[in-house]
A and B are shown apart, each in its own frame.
Chain A
Amino acid sequence: MAGPDTVIFEEEFTKINAVCDRLRGEANALVVFIVDKNGQLISASGETEHLDTTSLASLTAGNVAATGGIAKLLKEKEFATQFHEGEKANIHIQIVGQRVILVVIFDTRSSLGLVRLRVRKAAEELNKVFDSLVEKAKKPGAMSVLEEITDEDIENLFNE
């Protein structure tokens, strides 16, 4: 199989959520969320009740993947930042450490300059958290839930 599975533990999950919450406050943003490059939502902060975060995560990852494809054609490593301006809402998309995507949605109560500044700081913090996650996931027993899956579990999933 190519590449390792992504795994998030309680401790890092709390830290990631804290970074998202802080960034949302400091950047005056409406919503902040983090997605892995395959489109899985890792964390979301803010007014997410009215948002389809699963779809947003998948589309953001698709968008980043497509932009990455363009970068490759232009012999660029990546375009790490994207910004889309709407009439009411704006979206700032930042690739962090080439592995996760940090998304900030904001309106006129904030500005692109402020968001960029705060995103830079949050990205550094997130990098540290994800570095420690990678190390942790390598340790034996880190994925114990997968080792414990029985054939019966798999069968039961379809007999309900």
Chain B
Amino acid sequence: MSFINYSSREINCKIVYYGPGLCGKTTNLKYIFGNTAPDAKGKMISLATETDRTLFFDFLPLSLGEIQGFRTRFHLYTVPGQVFYNASRKLILKGVDGVVFVADSQIDRMEANIESLDNLRENLADQGYDLDRIPYVVQYNKRDLPEIAPVEELRSLLNPGGVPEFEGEATNGRGVFATLKAIAKLVFMELKRSRST
């Protein structure tokens, strides 16, 4: 649900990074924060536990430039990945404009990926969204680790619909900005489409 202010000439959108616990959602945001010009970003906020696990959300406001004389701003959020934080995940999806699903490529995390994707679909449906109709991209993260599943296998399990997908190594930044750009593009295309029909 975008926010358009004609007075201050701003378009604001909300993107949520979703995925199982420890898949690298926060690491994606940290990399973006660390590699964006100071004037294009706000403060990154992490509501985390003492052991650095996301408790409620991470938040990063980002400016992307101008469209039709309007400044575009993206609010990036992560959800807490651990299974028992589902109530919080539902809240964070409210008003979302686009979703990035960060999958953990490690073979032993495949079940957690599938469970998280099912959970995303359910939680979106609770808010009145259909995962097959909203701007949505997938990132296969942790490609730098051993014991990872081939991309073809990840695709068949997690991306049968064939949405834009990226290989990621969020710790060193590979795929991070490609993922962000892809979801931002889809969000704008959807904004345009939803108003043109």
Q: Which residues on the B side are within 8 Å of A160 (C-beta)?
A: 65
Q: Which of B7, B129, B185 contacts A10 (CB 8 A)?
A: B7
Among A2, A3, A54, chain B packs the most CB atoms within 10 A around the CB of: A2
Which of B8-16, B106-114, B165-173 sits within the interface? B8-16
**A132 within 8 Å of B (CB atoms):** no
Residues of B within 8 A of A (CB): 1-8, 11-12, 14, 42-43, 45, 47, 56-57, 59, 61, 64-68, 70, 72, 75, 87-88, 90-92, 94-95, 127-129, 133-134, 181, 184-185, 188-192, 194-196
**A18 within 8 Å of B (CB atoms):** no
Q: How many chain-A residues does the 8 Å CB contact rule pick out?
A: 41
- Which residues of A from 125 to 154 have beta carbons under 8 Å from B? 143, 145-149, 151, 153-154
Q: Is A3 in contact with B6, judged by CB distance below 8 angstroms?
A: no
Residues of A within 8 A of B (CB): 1-10, 13-14, 36-40, 42, 52, 54-55, 58-59, 62, 65-66, 68-69, 143, 145-149, 151, 153-154, 156-158, 160
Q: How far is the CA of A68 from the CA of B42 in the complex (A)?
A: 27
B17 CB, nearest partner CB in chain A, Å: 15
Q: How far is the CA of A125 from the CA of B17 in the complex (A)?
A: 37
Q: How far is the CA of A5 from the CA of B2 in the complex (A)?
A: 5
Instruction: Tell whether A14 pairs with B3 under 8 Å between CB atoms, given A66-B56, A149-B192, A157-B184.
Output: no
Instruction: Tell whether A145 pairs with B88 under 8 Å between CB atoms, given A13-B8, A52-B42, A158-B185.
Output: no
Q: How far is the CA of A7 from the CA of B7 in the complex (A)?
A: 10
Closest residue of B by beta carbon distance from A52 = B43
Q: Which residues on the B side are within 8 Å of A65 (C-beta)?
A: 91-92, 94
Q: Is B191 in contact with A40, judged by CB distance below 8 angstroms?
A: no
Q: Which residues on the A side are within 8 Å of B191 (C-beta)?
A: 5, 146, 149
Q: Is A3 in contact with B5, judged by CB distance below 8 angstroms?
A: no
Q: Which residues on the B side are within 8 Å of A143 (C-beta)?
A: 4, 195
Q: Which residues on the A side are within 8 Å of B133 (C-beta)?
A: 1
A13 CB, nearest partner CB in chain B, Å: 4
